[in-house]
A and B are shown apart, each in its own frame.
Chain A
Amino acid sequence: MPNKPLGHRNGYINREVLHGDVSDGNTFFLIEDFKPESAVPSPPDHAREDWTPLRHGMTGDWGSAADCRNAGEKERLRRTVSLYILSGK
C-alpha cells in the first residue's frame, strides 16, 4: 500500500508524468497470479497472531495521465482525482 502514493510520486518526480485519477478504483494490491490463494492469501503455518500479508500497492490506469513536459497535455489535465471524490459524496 505505501507503494501506491510512491507510484504517483515516482511518476511525477522521476518521469514528470502526473496521473489523472487518484482513486481506489486505480489502486491495486500486487498479487503473484490470478489464483484464489494469491488474491486472498492465507496465513502461513504457525503464523503469529498478529500476522498480516502487507502486500505491495501499485497505481494502474495511467492512460489518463499527462506528460508534464508537454504544456498542452498538462493544461488538459483538469483533475487528478476521480469525479466521485470531487462530488463530495
Chain B
Amino acid sequence: MVIKDCWDLSESSCDHVIHEKLQDPTRDPRFQDFLKNPNNPDSLGDASADSLHSDKLVAGALVEPDFVQAFITPDGLNPWDGVKFLRGITIMESYMQPMLKGRDVVESIQSISSYMMAPDADCWDESDEAPLENRYRHRTLFSTCGVDILWFSTARELFHGIAGAIIGEGSGSRYFFTNFS
C-alpha cells in the first residue's frame, strides 16, 4: 500500500477525482457502443488491437459481474483486471480528506490558519489579496507499489522497455493525432 498525502490547489482537482474516472468502466467508449448496439459483435471493437485487455471483457463484465472472473488469468504480480483497473495505471484503494481535530471542517491552509489565530485577528482578509495561498489536504491510498523506472536491472530490461514504449506510444498517438490534428 502507498499513501499519497497532498496539499492541492482546489478541493476538486486532485488524485482521487481523476482515479474515480480512471476506474469507472462506464466511461469506456466501447461500453457505450455496446449499450447502443448489444447484438452487433462489431460494437465490441477489435480486441486484437489491444491484446492486453479485451473489449469483450469490458462489455461482458458490466452486463454480468461474474463474467470477468472467468477471463482473468493471474500471472503472479498482475493487479489489473482490464475492466475497472486498466493495465499500466496505478490502482486507487480509497481516499480521505483529513478533518481539523474536534471540528467538522476539512484541513486547508485557510481553516488551519483561522484555527491557530485569535478569533478577532485579521488572518484571512477576503477583501484583500490572501496572505497565504489556500490549499486543501487530500490523502489517497494506492494498492500498487512501484520503484523508479530508472532502476532497471539489466541492459536487456532497458531495451525491452524502450521497444515497448515505442510500440505503445505509436498506438496511442495515432489515435490522438487522427482525432485532434
Report A's interface with B, CB cutoff 8 A: 1-17, 24-25, 27-34, 38-41, 50, 52-63, 65, 67
Report B's interface with A, CB cutoff 8 A: 6, 8, 13-15, 18-19, 21-22, 24, 27-30, 50, 52-53, 58, 77-79, 86-90, 142, 144-154, 156-157, 160-165, 167-169, 171-172, 175-176
Whether the pair B77, A32 counts as a contact (CB closer than 8 A) is yes
Which residues of B have CB within 8 Å of A38? Answer: 145
Whether the pair B156, A28 counts as a contact (CB closer than 8 A) is no
Whether the pair B21, A17 counts as a contact (CB closer than 8 A) is yes
User: Which of the residues A12, A17, A25, A65 comes within 8 Å of B176, measured between beta carbons?
Assistant: A12
Determine how close the nearest CB of chain B comes to the CB of A84; give it in whole angstroms.
14
Whether the pair B151, A29 counts as a contact (CB closer than 8 A) is yes
Q: Supply 9 A–B pairs (Cβ within 8 Å), ascending by A.
A: A3-B52, A5-B172, A10-B87, A17-B21, A28-B147, A31-B146, A32-B77, A40-B151, A61-B15
Which residues of A have CB within 8 Å of B52? Answer: 3, 6
Whether the pair A60, B24 counts as a contact (CB closer than 8 A) is no
Q: A1–B147 Cα gap in the complex (Å)?
A: 12
User: Which of the residues A14, A41, A67 comes within 8 Å of B153, measured between beta carbons?
Assistant: A41
Whether the pair B165, A2 counts as a contact (CB closer than 8 A) is yes
Q: Which partner residue on chain A sits nearest B27 by CB separation?
A: A15
Which residues of A have CB within 8 Å of B149? Answer: 1, 4, 24, 27-29, 57
Whether the pair B146, A30 counts as a contact (CB closer than 8 A) is yes
Most chain B beta-carbon contacts within 10 A, residue among A16, A31, A41, A62? A62
Given contacts A8-B88, A59-B88, contact A14 B146 (CB under 8 A): no
Main secondary structure of the interface of A (DSSP, over half): mixed
Which residues of B have CB within 8 Å of A65? Answer: 18
Whether the pair B144, A58 counts as a contact (CB closer than 8 A) is yes
Closest 3 CB pairs of A and B: A7-B88, A2-B164, A28-B146
User: Which of the residues B90, B144, B168 comes within 8 Å of A2, measured between beta carbons?
Assistant: B168
Whether the pair B87, A7 counts as a contact (CB closer than 8 A) is yes
Which residues of A have CB within 8 Å of B161? Answer: 1-2, 4, 57
Q: A23–B87 Cα gap in the complex (Å)?
A: 18
